[in-house]
Structure 1
Amino acid sequence: MEWNLRTCARKGHVTYAPDEDDYRARLEATTPLGDAWRCLRCGTYVLGDPHGRGPADDAPVLLRGKALRSAFILRALAIERWVRGVVLVLLGVAVLRLESTRVSLKELFRRDLKSLDPFFRQIHFNVDDSSTIHSVEKFLDAKPSTYHLIAAGLLLYGALQLAEGIGLWSLKRWGEYVAVVGTTLFVPLEVYELTEKVSWLKLVVLIVNVAAVIYLLLSKRLFGIRGGHRAYEASLHEASLLEVEASSAQPAAVTQS
């Protein structure tokens, strides 16, 4: 699929007349129907006056080529953050609800455990030596403040994930910073969990998070890397004009504005 054409079909073409003669010559064409200007996104020549004029450095930076692929990656990360955030928020709500019903749950657990005593004796299972049962009882006997602390942590982390998703989906730079900082803070915890017990899911999550951090740092030039924000904006302008210049060597259709 030609994503540039798909975007233009939804949002319309974007044409621009640069003041520099060399760029202007590559973007302008004369036809029997009148002057046409090459769309900065899809490269199609559009009849009529350009949508903007001025220096090439002031040309609008559109999502095309590398920028469009970058937007696709960021929005894929945003969806992953939203899914994780919703799960964490639901877990936080579940912990709060569990705190209000933990007395009845504790009684139900102990009653059912006692009813299974004949079965445990037959299989020679000592309930008093079971670390799993002790962990469940310890969790059910926890103080209300402990439940509140766990719920608050889950809700705050879930809200952070949802905020990251909003920033990444809207392609905002603050979202990229939040994603890098938030993800990096939890990488040591994920490494520690792998040292405790290795699983494919934990390993995949760790690889995805580390790859996302490295990609954002290098491609978006965060924290002053590779020239920082100013160099990143300059590269976007340069890439936009270079990609249109390269596509100008290919045949293009002419459409009405």
Structure 2
Amino acid sequence: MKIDWDRRTCSRRGHITYLPQEEHLREKLRADTALGEAWRCLRCGDFALGDPHGSGPAADAPLVPRGKVLRDLFILRFLAVERAIRGVFIVLAALAVWQFSNRQDAVRRFFDEKLALIRPVARHFHYDLDHSPVVGTIQQAFGYRHSTLLLVAGLLLVYALVEIVEGVGLWRAKRWAEYLTVVATAAFLPLEIYELTEKVSWLKIATLLVNILAVLYIALTKRLFGLRGGRTAFDEERHSASLLEVETSAGVPEPARNS
């Protein structure tokens, strides 16, 4: 089922209409109805009752995202939400490490007391807590220096800040955020691949695939790093679309362009 991104967006945000100074375009965008004057939406092409939202030369018509651009914006905002949520969880992890660094001895005593209580129960079910990987990892953490834990907490906060900044920038469709997302995500791909060599899990595989697809999608569709003509081709594409908004909405076909 094909999604009509234009009408889907207009149903949520409303139509966007424009009154061009050019007479031939104005007549094609305007219609008289029994309920009054109506103007064609620059996004979906449907007529909407009421006065236009703006006016001026056709070249100054607002750049209204539609079609493929709307689809790309939806995907970018999906990635933005994912980055923001991840950033929040990393902040919580950093706070947990920081609190642990300040209460390391108390946490160790509490852990040892509870471990002693449940050890007989675990033995009853033939489970050796003393050789448990989880227990071993926790006990290893108790041996870290206070300064080391503070460094880890600081690095986690920096990582969280990068994720949150990525999320905000992607939500606003900023080009610098697209570069930041591609570079930051690609930088962690070798680490994710290395983790798979240590232990394979469906979550790790899914995360790796999502990150690889995100890097390729953003880099190719946004023409980053000189791909597909680079910034020049990207600007020409957007500038051409802005000049043709009114003409296209008025029913004048766009000249063919090579994809």
**TM-score grouping bracket, smaller chain normalisation:** 0.7 to 0.9
3-state SS of 1:245 partner: helix
Partner Cα distance (2:127, 2:75) in 1 = 55
2:110 matched residue in structure 1: 108
Contact 1:99/1:144 (CA < 8 Å) preserved in 2?
yes
1:173 matched residue in structure 2: 175
* CA deviation after TM superposition for structure 1 residue 136, in Å: 2.2
Higher alpha-carbon deviation: 47-56 or 138-147? 47-56
Within 5 Å, give how 1:111-122 maps onto structure 2. Answer: 111-115=113-117
1:162 matched residue in structure 2: 164
Question: Which letter does structure 1 place at the counterpart of 2:16?
Answer: H
Partner Cα distance (1:133, 1:210) in 2 = 33
1:72 matched residue in structure 2: 74
Q: C-alpha root-mean-square deviation of aligned residues, in Å?
A: 3.4
Question: Which letter does structure 2 place at the counterpart of 1:208?
Answer: V
Partner Cα distance (2:122, 2:148) in 1 = 32
* CA deviation after TM superposition for structure 1 residue 81, in Å: 0.5
Aligned residue among 223, 243, 251 for 1:248: 251
Change (3 A) 1:4 1:98: same
Change (3 A) 1:27 1:200: farther
Residue identity (%):
40
Partner Cα distance (2:31, 2:162) in 1 = 53
3-state SS of 1:97 partner: helix
Contact 1:92/1:151 (CA < 8 Å) preserved in 2?
yes
Change (3 A) 1:60 1:228: farther
Question: Which letter does structure 2 place at the counterpart of 1:136?
Answer: I
Partner Cα distance (1:132, 1:8) in 2 = 52
Aligned residue among 212, 219, 222 for 2:221: 219
1:90 matched residue in structure 2: 92
Q: May I ask how many residue pairs the two structures share in their alignment?
A: 245
Aligned residue among 51, 54, 58 for 1:51: 54
Partner Cα distance (2:151, 2:167) in 1 = 24
Asked if residue 13 in structure 1 is aligned to residue 16 in structure 2, the reply is: yes
Higher alpha-carbon deviation: 231-240 or 104-113? 231-240
Change (3 A) 1:247 1:98: farther
Partner Cα distance (2:122, 2:30) in 1 = 87
Change (3 A) 1:104 1:216: same
1:252 matched residue in structure 2: none
Change (3 A) 1:113 1:247: same
Partner Cα distance (1:28, 1:117) in 2 = 78
Change (3 A) 1:27 1:39: farther
Partner Cα distance (1:8, 1:115) in 2 = 62
Contact 2:18/2:61 (CA < 8 Å) preserved in 1?
no
* CA deviation after TM superposition for structure 1 residue 61, in Å: 1.8
1:152 matched residue in structure 2: 154
3-state SS of 2:64 partner: coil
Change (3 A) 1:14 1:118: closer
Structure 1 unpaired stretches of 5+:
250-257
Change (3 A) 1:18 1:195: farther
Aligned residue among 34, 41, 47 for 2:43: 41
Contact 1:217/1:225 (CA < 8 Å) preserved in 2?
yes
Contact 1:37/1:49 (CA < 8 Å) preserved in 2?
yes
